[in-house]
Each structure stands twice: as C-alpha cells, then as structure tokens.
C-alpha cells in the first residue's frame, strides 16, 4: 500500500464527508493505493456514525473509536500502530490542512529520502493570540531539539516513512514534538514543506491557551529524558556533588575561622552566628537529597522495560 492517511478527530462530524471526498479525489487522481484511518477520540457528536457511513461507501476508510477522549497524541499513537502504508500522512480533521499537499509530501519521502517531512504553515489563518506564542514556541523547540530547519513543529500535516512511526512512541501531549522524538530515535533526515493553510471551516479549536504552558513543560521533560533518561545519576550526582562541595567549603571556613580566633585569643563568635554555617547546612542537605534522587532514578531506569530498547537499523 502506498499511503496511509491518519486523521485524529474530536467532534468534527461536519468536516468529515468533505475531507474524505477531497482525500479520495487526490488519491484517485494520482493512482495511489491508500487507506484512511479516522481515529475518533471519544467524540460526543455523531462523528462515529459518519465514519461508519464513509467506510460502507469506501473500503479504504478504516476507523478506531476510543471509548472516551484521550487526546491527539494517543489518537496518533493508535493510528500509527494500525497503519500499513509505506508512507504515513497525518492531518487534522478540521479542513485546515489541504489533502492537495499529499503527493508532494510523499514524493519527498520516496524520492528525496526524507524520514519525516513536516508541513510549514507559513501563512496562517489563525487568531493572533495563537500565531505569536507559536513563533516563540517554535524558536524554543528548535533550540532545545537541535532541529534547526523546522519552523512549525506542531503542524498537523506531516509525512513519515513507515519505519519512523513504528519506532517512536507518541504519548501524553507529545504530538507537538514528533520531529524531536524521531530525531532521538535516530531518524535524522527531517525536512519541511511550506503548506497551504485555511481557517477552520466548522466547529472550533480543541486546544486552549494552556497548550503553551503544557507545551513548554513537555519540551523540558523530553529534553531531560533524551539526555539523562537512562542515566539519571549523571545529572543528579553532578548537582549533588557541587552542592556538597560548596557545603564542605563553607564548613571549612566556619571551622578554620573559629580555630584561628581561639588560637589568637580573639573573642570567638558562635559558629551559629556565621552565615557560612547556614550555607553549609543547606548545601549539604540539598546535596544529599540530590544524590538520593540520583540513586532512586537509577533504580527506576534499571528496572524499566525501556532500558535496552535500541534502534537497530540492520543486522547481518
């Protein structure tokens, strides 16, 4: 099969027939063999009935129905598992992404050898309250992930080589960072294509402004996991040692100045009057706690099923 199109959706019944007809038109015009996997993320409208109807008309239409709303990442994860195409395309259900981009996205994977091609909504039809924070968000994501050529990490329209989607695990709200996940899994050829974007035709956006707060927190934890996920002691141990060292220096200052005062018959002030006493106390406690966190982290990562989960490309 040439292409799997995965469409995560939450209450998008009105858009589905139009989206389906458009995808079908593009696929038939190009002679691709394809499947469309609609992942109904616990919609409360009649989206599922619409999907069943489409599937009765067109055998290429498949569906997954969640019992409740889990989020876009879980929907993508299940779509990725089910997909059988050589090239996987993800797109939003709200008609903001154009199926006309599919042939070129596929060409970039098949002929230019990209592992992942992300859409770039250069000209966006979204409210300002979204486009400005998005710029900041993308700048941070570029910096942290080291994928310098991407302008639009969170674009719903993306194309993947099949290996990529079978070897990454999208969860939580990590759909914003799929290129970063792919890069961490060793897929380095990540490209971008400027895509046409439209205003939402039906319904309204499913994400509020909290997307930016959550997005930053997720980016932080992804960065941490990719650097220290399998060796937490390396970060906690280093911080703990530095703290402990500072505390130790402070203790030496306290002790030495007391001894010096005593030896020279100067009036020796109480140890607890010295600021260094408190510094050393705090630093040593913090240092010990960081060390304990490091040991606990190592225990957890040691018993994790992921500990020996490597990306092996070939073996002979």
> How many angstroms separate the CA atoms of 152 and 156, rounded?
9
Asked whether 185 and 114 are in contact (CB, 8 A), the reply is: no
> How many angstroms separate the CA atoms of 174 and 281, rounded?
40
CB of 73 to ligand UDP, least distance (A): 9
- Identify what 193 binds: ligand UDP, Mg ion, none; CB under 5 to 8 Å per kind: none
| Token pair of 43 as six digits | 């919609």
75 binds ligand UDP (CB under 6 A): yes
Angle between helices 16-30 and 102-110 (to 10 degrees): 50
> How many angstroms separate the CA atoms of 159 and 191, rounded?
10
Quick one: 130 or 258, whose CB is closer to ligand UDP?
Answer: 130
For residue 34, the Cα-to-chain-centroid distance in whole angstroms is 27
Site string for ligand UDP, 204-233 (x = CB under 6 A): -xxx--------------------------
CB of 10 to ligand UDP, least distance (A): 4
Interacting residues with ligand UDP between 29 and 48 (CB under 6 A): 41
Interacting residues with ligand UDP between 45 and 64 (CB under 6 A): none
197 binds ligand UDP (CB under 6 A): no
Angle between helices 47-57 and 16-30 (to 10 degrees): 30
Residues contacting ligand UDP: total by CB under 6 A:
17
Angle between helices 232-263 and 210-228 (to 10 degrees): 80
User: Which position among 4, 6, 8, 283 is part of the footprint of ligand UDP (CB under 6 A)?
Assistant: 8
User: Which position among 94, 97, 115, 152 is part of the footprint of Mg ion (CB under 5 A)?
Assistant: 94
9 binds ligand UDP (CB under 6 A): yes
Asked whether 105 and 23 are in contact (CB, 8 A), the reply is: no
Q: How many helices (H) and strands (E) does the chain have?
A: 10, 7
User: Which position among 3, 4, 6, 12 is part of the footprint of ligand UDP (CB under 6 A)?
Assistant: 12
Quick one: 10 or 77, whose CB is closer to Mg ion?
Answer: 10
Q: Work out whether the CA dihedral 56, 60, 61, 63 comes out positive or negative.
A: positive
Quick one: 75 or 109, whose CB is closer to ligand UDP?
Answer: 75
User: Which position among 4, 24, 96, 167 is part of the footprint of ligand UDP (CB under 6 A)?
Assistant: 96
Q: Which residues bind ligand UDP (CB under 6 A)?
A: 8-10, 12, 41, 69, 71-72, 75, 92-94, 96, 156, 205-207
């Amino acid at each position: 099969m040439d292409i799997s199109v995965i469409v995560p959706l939450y209450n998008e019944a009105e858009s589905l027939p139009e989206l389906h007809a458009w995808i079908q038109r593009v696929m038939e015009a190009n002679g691709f063999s394809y499947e469309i996997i609609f992942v109904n993320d616990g919609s409360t409208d009649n989206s599922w009935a619409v999907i069943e109807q489409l599937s009765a008309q067109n055998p290429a239409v498949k569906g997954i129905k969640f019992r409740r709303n889990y989020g876009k990442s879980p929907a993508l994860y299940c779509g990725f598992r089910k997909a059988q195409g050589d090239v996987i395309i993800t797109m939003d259900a709200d008609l903001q992404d154009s199926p006309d981009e599919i042939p070129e996205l596929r060409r970039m994977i098949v002929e230019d050898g990209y592992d992942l091609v992300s859409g770039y909504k250069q000209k966006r039809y979204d409210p300002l309250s979204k486009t400005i924070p998005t710029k900041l968000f993308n700048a941070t994501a570029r910096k942290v992930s080291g994928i310098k050529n991407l302008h639009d990490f969170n674009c719903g329209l993306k194309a993947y080589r099949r290996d990529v989607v079978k070897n990454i695990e999208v969860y939580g709200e990590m759909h914003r960072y799929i290129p970063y996940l792919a890069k961490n899994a060793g897929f380095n050829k990540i490209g971008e294509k400027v895509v046409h974007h439209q205003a939402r035709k039906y319904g309204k956006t499913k994400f509020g402004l909290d997307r930016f707060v959550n997005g930053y927190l997720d980016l932080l934890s992804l960065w941490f996991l990719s650097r220290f996920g399998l060796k937490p002691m390396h970060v906690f141990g280093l911080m703990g040692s530095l703290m402990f060292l500072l505390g130790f220096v402070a203790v030496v200052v306290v002790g030495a100045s007391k001894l010096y005062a005593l030896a020279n018959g100067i009036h020796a002030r109480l140890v607890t009057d010295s600021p260094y006493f408190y510094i050393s106390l705090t630093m040593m406690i913090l240092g010990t706690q960081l060390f304990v966190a490091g040991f606990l982290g190592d225990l957890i990562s040691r018993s994790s099923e992921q500990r020996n989960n490597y990306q092996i490309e070939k073996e002979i």
